[in-house]
Chain A
Amino acid sequence: MKKAIKDSILTGLVAFLVFGPISGLVLSGYSIEVHAERPLIMAVVVALGRFVFALLADSSHGLKLSAAIFGRRDGGVTVASGEPTLSPLLYLAVFAAFFLPFLLSKYWLGVAILALIYVLLALGLNIVVGLAGLLDLGFVAFYAVGAYGYALGSQYFDLGFWSAIPFGAFLAACFGMVLGFPVLRMHGDYLAIVTLGFGEIIRLVLNNWVSFTGGPSGVFVQAPTLFGLEFSRRAKFGGEPFHKFFDIAYSSSYKTMFLYFVLLLLVVAITFFVVRLRSMPLGRAWEALREDEVACRSLGINHVTTKLSAFAMGAMVGGLGGVFFAASQGFVNPASFTFFESALILAIVVLGGLGSTVGVIVAAIILTVFPELLREWSQYRILLFGVAMVLMMVWRPRGLVRPKRPFFAIRGQK
C-alpha cells in the first residue's frame, strides 16, 4: 500500500514533467500562454491510474494474471518424446487446402497464392537463417532472381512456365552460391550487412539496366499453360484455350486455380523435403555449423561447401517463390523486391521459430492473410505487426513453435 502510494506520486511527477512542456505551454501569436492546469490534470489521472494498477497487481488475482502473462518463458529447446508427432490435424489441413479453390472467390484465392509464395520464401530463408544460422537480410534478391528469371526468360528465350520452374530455381541457386563465396568468412552482423547490400544490388541492377530488364517499367510474363492449353480467352501463342478444350464456359479464375494447385503441390513437396533434410547428414551439418563452426571443422565437415549448399538450397526455394510470383502477377518490376520484403520474410521466420518448419509455415500464412483481413485498419498494420513482434518476444522468444530435437531409439532401452 505504502509502495503503491509512493509509486503513484512518483509516476504523477514524471507525467507532469513530460506533459508540462507538451500541453502546458500553448503558443498564441508571438507569446506563450501557460496552462498549468492541463498537465496537472493529466498527471493526476496518470497517478491515479498507477495507484489503481499497483493495488490490482498486488492482489492475488493480479499476481495470478501477471504470472500467466509473463511467467511462461519456456522458450527452450526440447527433445521429442519418440512418439510420432505428425498430428492428423496436419493431414487434414493439407487435404482441406486442396478444396480451397472451390470455396474461395478469385480475390481470396489470389491471397492464398500469395500466402503460399510466402511459405516458400520463409521455408527457403529458414534453411539459411534457421538451420545454418547465417543471418541473411537480402533474401528478397533470390525472390527477384526467380521472378526475373522467368520474366526475362520468357521474353528473350520464349521460356514457358514449366521450364521456368527448374530454370528459376537453378538460377537462384547459382546466385546463392555467388553471394555465398565472398561471405564465407563472415558471421552475424557483418554477414547481415553484406547480404543486405546484395539484396539492394540486385534491385538496383534490375532498376537501372533498362535495356535488358526494362527498368522500373518492368517486364510482362508469358502466362502459364497446362500441356499447351492456355488460360486466356483466346489462344495467344497458337495453342488451344483451356475452356475450349474442356468445352466449359470461360472464367478468368481458371488460371488462378491452376496456379494454386501447382503451387500447393510444390509447397507440400518442398515442405516434405525440408523436413527430411533436417534429419539427413546435410541438415545436421547445417545445424552443427550454426552451433559451432570451429567444432564442425574439427570433425571433418567442410564448412565452405556446407555453407554454400545452405545458401544455394535456400536461394533455390526462394527462387521458386519468385517464379510463382511472376506467374501469378503476369508482370514483374523492381518495386516488388524492396528491403521491406526481406524484413517481412525474416520476421516470418523469427515469429514462426527459427528452424521450425511447421512454425514458419503457420507464421507465413498468418502474416500474409491477416493484413488482408484487416484491410479497414490498414493504417495500423505496421503498428499491430510491431505489437505482435514484441508480445511474441515476451511470451515465446523462440517463436511460435519451439525447436524440437529428434529422438533416437537405442537398442535395449525403452
Chain B
Amino acid sequence: MLLSVENLTMKFGGVVALNQVGFGVEEGSITALIGPNGAGKTTAFNCITGFYKASSGRLTFSGRDQEPVDILAILGENFQLGDLLNPVAFARRLYFKMFGGAHRVTRAGVVRTFQNVRLFKEMTVMENLLVAQRQQVNHNLLAGFFKSRAYLKAEAEAVDRGVKWLEFFGILDSANRLAGELAYGDQRLLEIARALCTEPKLICLDEPAAGLNPRETELLNSHIRQLRDKFNITILLIEHDMGLVMDISDHVVVLDHGEVIAAGTPLQIQNSAVVTKAYLGIADDEEEV
C-alpha cells in the first residue's frame, strides 16, 4: 500500500467534514475519489497533502524506498505530556513545528494539483517548472553567484526535465510564454506538468477534467494512463466526470457526508445501490417520510 488512510477525521469547529475515513492507494494504481458535492473529497485531499492538519487519524505514505512517512507528524503535531520526559520526541516535534508543513509532504513524494488552476501566471511556463524542482537544483548562493559548474549543470538538467514533461503534454512550443497567457486546457496540463517536476511517487489530481472539452478530456485520459504505465506514478484523483472515472480508475472510493460509503472496482461501484442513493437520493428515504 503506497498511501494508507486510517480513521481520518477532520473537524472544523463543530462541523465534522470527515468522519473516520479509511482507504488505501495501491502502488501503480489509479484511484478515484468520488462523491456528491460537499462530501468531503477536497477536504480529504487537503489532509493527505498537508494543507489541513487532520483532527485525528493516521496517514502513512510508504513511497520512496525508505521507511514510511507519517504525514501528520511532519506537519507539526501538538506537544504532548510525554514529551517532557522524552527529549528526542520533543526535539522531533519542535523541529517539525518550526520547519514542517505541506512542503514536507511534497518532498516525501506526494504532490497535488488544484481544483482552480494555481499557476505562477506572470512567470514563464519554463520558470513554473523550474520552481517546482526545488529538490533537484543547486541551492548554494555562492555557487549560483559565481555560476559554478555544478550549479550550471543542475540548472541545465532542470530545464531538460521541464522540457521532458512539456513534450509529454504537447505544450513544448509554449515553453517561453507566460503561464497566464496559455489556453485554459493547457494551463491545466501545465499544472500537472509542474507537479510532476517535483518527481513524485503519488500525484493527487483535484478535478483535472473540470472545464475541459470532450476532446481535451480524452487527451487527459490517455496522459493519466501513460503516467501510470510509463512513468510508474501512482494517481489519486477527484473527478466528477463519471465517464473518465469509470474508464481509467482501478479502484474507486465513494465519499458521502464525510464517510466512505463504498469502495471497489468501477464495475462494483456502478452497480452499488448505496452509491446510487447517495447521488440521486431515492429509494427508502422517501418511504420514511
A276 CB–B CB distance under 8 Å: yes
Contact partner of A301 (CB less than 8 A), chosen from B103, B119, B163, B195, is B103
Indicate which residue in B99, B123, B126 contacts A288 across the interface (CB closer than 8 Å). B123
Mask for B92-130, Cβ within 8 A of A = 1, else 0?
Answer: 000000110111001100011110001111111011101
**Are the CB atoms of A280 and B141 closer together than 8 Å?**
yes
CB of B135 within 8 Å of the partner chain:
yes
Give the interface segment out of A6-14, A209-217, A291-299, A366-374: A291-299
Inter-chain contact A302/B103, CB cutoff 8 Å: yes
Is A405 an interface residue when CB atoms closer than 8 A count as contact? Answer: yes
Q: A406's contact among B107, B124, B139, by CB below 8 Å, is which?
A: B124
Please judge, given known A-B contacts A295-B120, A406-B124, whether A303 and B103 are in contact too, CB under 8 Å.
Answer: yes
- A291's partner among B107, B120, B139, B159 (CB-CB below 8 A) is B120
Q: Which of A371-414 contact B (CB under 8 A)?
A: 403, 405-408, 410-411, 413
A297–B178 Cα gap in the complex (Å)? Answer: 21
Encoded as 1 (CB less than 8 Å from any B CB) or 0, chain A from 38 to 74 comes to: 0000000000000000000000000000000000000
Cα of A300 to Cα of B175 in the assembled complex, Å: 22
Check A77–B122 contact: CB distance below 8 A: yes
A97 at interface, CB cutoff 8 A:
no
Is there an interface contact between A405 and B159, defined as CB atoms closer than 8 Å? no
A408 and B124 contacting across the interface, CB-CB below 8 Å: yes
B120 contacts which of A282, A288, A302, A406 (Cβ < 8 Å)? A288
Whether the Cβ atoms of B172 and A410 lie closer than 8 Å is yes
- 1/0 per residue, CB under 8 A from A, across B117-157: the answer is 01111111011101110110111010011010000000000
**CB-based contact A287/B177 at 8 Å:** no
Docked CA distance A155–B72 (Å):
51
- A94 vs B167: C-alpha distance in the bound complex, in angstroms? 43
Is B198 interfacial (CB 8 A cutoff)?
yes
Complex Cα spacing A408 to B172, Å: 12
Please name all residues of chain B whose beta carbon is closer than 8 Å to the beta carbon of A299 when the two chains form the complex.
103, 106, 111, 131-132, 134, 194-195, 197-198
Is B226 on the interface with A (CB-CB < 8 A)?
no
Q: Are A285 and B134 in contact (CB under 8 A)?
A: yes
Tell me whether B51 and A297 are in contact (CB under 8 A).
yes
Is A187 close to B, CB under 8 A?
no
Are the CB atoms of A407 and B123 closer together than 8 Å?
Answer: no
Total interface residues in chain B, CB < 8 Å = 47
- Selected contact of B127 from candidates A280, A300, A406, A411, CB within 8 Å: A406
Residues of B within 8 A of A276 (CB): 144-145, 147
- A157 proximal to B (CB < 8 A): no
The answer to whether B176 has its CB under 8 Å from any CB of chain A is: yes
Chain B nearest CB from A78 CB (Å) reads 8
Across the interface, B103 reaches (CB within 8 A) one of A277, A284, A297, A413, namely A297
Pairwise interchain contact A292-B163, C-beta atoms closer than 8 A = no
B172–A298 CB distance below 8 A: no
| Chain A nearest CB, measured from B145 CB (Å) | 5
Contacts of B128 in A (CB 8 A): 288
Most chain B beta-carbon contacts within 10 A, residue among A77, A79, A413: A79
Query: Is the Cβ of B112 less than 8 Å from the Cβ of A298?
Result: yes
Whether A300 contacts B137 in the complex (CB less than 8 A), given A292-B118, A295-B114, comes out as no
Asked if A99 is at the interface (CB within 8 A of a chain B CB), the reply is no
Q: For A407, give its contact among B114, B132, B176 (CB under 8 Å).
A: B176
Q: Are A297 and B102 in contact (CB under 8 A)?
A: yes
B49 within 8 A of A: yes
Distance from A110 Cβ to chain B, minimum over Cβ atoms (Å)? 32
Of A284, A298, A408, which contacts B106 at CB under 8 A?
A: A298
Min CB–CB distance A107 → chain B (angstroms): 36
Q: Which residues of A contact B99 (CB under 8 A)?
A: 302, 304-305
Distance in angstroms from B233 CB to nearest chain A CB is: 16
Q: In the bound complex, what is the Cα–Cα distance between A299 and B106 (angstroms)? A: 6
Separation of A276 and B139 alpha carbons in the complex (Å): 13
Q: Would you give the shortest CB distance from B176 to chain A, in whole angstroms?
A: 5
Task: A407 to B176: give the CA distance in the assembly, Å.
Answer: 6
Cα separation A409 to B120 with both chains bound (whole Å): 20
B178 — which chain A residues lie within 8 A by C-beta? 77, 79, 405
How many angstroms from the CA of A272 to the CA of B130 in the assembled complex?
Answer: 22
B103 lies within 8 A of A300 (CB): yes
A299 CA to B137 CA in the complex, in Å? 13
- Taking the closest CB of chain A, its distance from the CB of B57, in whole angstroms, is 21
Q: Which residues of chain A come closer than 8 Å to B101, judged between CB atoms?
A: 297, 302-304
Question: What chain A residues lie within 8 Å of B175 (beta carbons)?
Answer: 408, 410
A281 at the interface (CB under 8 A from B): yes
Q: Does A95 contact B (CB under 8 A)?
A: no
Residue A245 lies at the interface, judged by CB distance under 8 Å to chain B: no
Beyond the given pairs A79-B124, A281-B139, A408-B159, 6 more chain A to chain B contacts, judged by CB atoms under 8 angstroms and listed by A's residue number, are: A273-B145, A291-B122, A298-B106, A298-B195, A299-B132, A299-B197
Contact sample, A vs B, 7 pairs, CB 8 Å cutoff: A276-B145, A291-B120, A292-B121, A298-B195, A299-B194, A303-B103, A410-B176
Which chain A residues have a beta carbon within 8 Å of chain B's beta carbons? 77, 79, 82, 273, 276-277, 280-282, 284-285, 287-288, 291-292, 294-305, 403, 405-408, 410-411, 413
